Amino acid sequence: MQACVSSKEIVPRMILLKIGGSVLTDKARETTINEANMCMVAQQIANTRVSKLMLVHGAGSFGHPQAIKYLSEGFSAQGIWKTHAAVCLLNTIFIDELQSKNVPALPIHPLDHVIVDHGKIVEFNLVALQLMLENNVIPVIHGDVVMDRSRRFSILSGDQLVTHLARIMRPQKTGMGTDVDGIIYEGKTIRHLTPTDFERYRAGITGSGNIDVTGGMLHKVSELIDLAKLGISSQIFDATKEGNIARFLAAGNDLGTTISAE
Ligand SMILES: Nc1ncnc2c1ncn2[C@@H]1O[C@H](COP(=O)(O)OP(=O)(O)O)[C@@H](O)[C@H]1O
Ligand SMILES: [Mg+2]
């Protein structure tokens, strides 16, 4: 009898993908999932098998409004809990959606694994993440509130986590899915950005059009420019557009903006 062959092509490489809070949630409404987008994102991940995939997601309306409400005055265990609990809820809902489509996803919560100093990651215990990858599990990490050696606590963005993980794990491909086509300058998408170009375009790149305590597009691009300087290229693309995540995972290097050293 002929062996049953899966129709899904397994892409033999490691990919790091961040899905923005702007994709998975309605950033204009506190604690509101964008159900259509979440379902569409999970389906594309389910349809495209990658041998090693690390997912990061932002907090969207499950974290940014809570940080403003409960952490503006400074350190408070209650404020940290309210913000952390909100983003953990988003993480749980996203993992439920992935698991319902037979995607072997499990959570990694930065509050438990990461220490920062002046907002910068100084320790990230990657043992659980590495063991998950070895067991063909997809770790799903998220922007979070974490303990800071100097400032007591800091908000750690999903964008910072991408830079750190790309630097340490050296995936073959790194991408950030957001709610715009890439970096827009004078109404057009910049197809390719280098650290030198960044200085020229910087003034046209700002924060988020929505509530985003971590600095929107300018923060995202700054993180990816730091990565490009280390020789790691990445893409920013529109993950709200059906098919783009599948294209990114399968092959596509032609989406949105590519950021690289040269
Ligand atoms: N030059 C720019 N090009 C594209 N987006 C920009 C630019 N400047 C500011 N933005 C804003 O950045 C937003 C994306 O950042 P953000 O809201 O933080 O997304 P995410 O939730 O995916 O991290 C866009 O929706 C847009 O409002
Ligand atoms: Mg953001």
Atom of ligand 1 nearest to the CA of 204: 1
- Please list the alpha-helical segments (H only) found in the chain: 21-24, 35-47, 64-71, 77-100, 110-113, 127-134, 158-169, 195-201, 216-229, 244-250
Report the residue among 157, 180, 184, 185 best suited for mutation to probe ligand 1: largest number of ligand atoms under 8 A from its CB.
Answer: 180
Per-residue pLDDT, 145? 98
205 touches ligand 1 (CB under 6 Å): yes
> Does 202 sit in the ligand 1 pocket, CB within 6 Å?
no
Q: Which ligand is nearest to the CA of 182?
A: 1
Ligand 1 centroid vs 59 CA: distance in angstroms? 14
> Which ligand has the shortest distance to the CA of 216?
1
The class that CATH gives domain 10-259 is alpha beta
Q: Whose CA is nearest to atom 17 of ligand 1?
A: 208
- Supply the pLDDT for residue 6: 42
- pLDDT for 56: 98
Q: How far is the CA of 10 from the centre of ligand 1 (A)?
A: 32
CB 216 near ligand 1, within 6 Å:
yes
- pLDDT, residue 8, reads 54
| Angstrom distance (rounded) from CA 61 to CA 220 | 18
Given a contact cutoff of 8 angstroms between Cβ atoms, the answer to whether 108 and 139 are in contact is yes
- Between the CA of 5 and the centroid of ligand 2 the distance, in Å, is 40
Q: Is 217 in the pocket of ligand 1 (CB under 6 A)?
A: yes
Contact 17, 248 (CB under 8 A): yes
How many other CB atoms are found less than 10 A from the CB of residue 197? 15
Query: Phi-psi bin for 178: left (phi > 0), alpha (psi -120 to 50), beta?
Result: beta
Q: Which atom of ligand 1 is nearest to the CA of 22?
A: 21
Per-residue pLDDT of the chain (262 residues; tens, 9 = 90+): 333 334 455 555 899 999 999 999 999 999 999 999 999 999 999 999 888 999 999 999 999 999 999 999 999 999 999 999 999 999 999 999 999 999 999 999 999 999 999 999 999 999 999 999 999 999 999 999 999 999 999 999 999 999 999 999 999 999 999 999 999 999 999 999 999 999 999 999 998 888 888 889 999 999 999 999 999 999 999 999 999 999 999 987 889 999 999 9
Index of the ligand 1 atom closest to the CA of residue 178: 22
Give me the residues near ligand 2 (ion), CB cutoff below 5 Å. Answer: 212
Where are the chain's structural domains? 10-259
Quote the pLDDT of residue 4.
39
Please give the helix or strand (H or E) that residue 17 lies within, else none.
strand 10-19
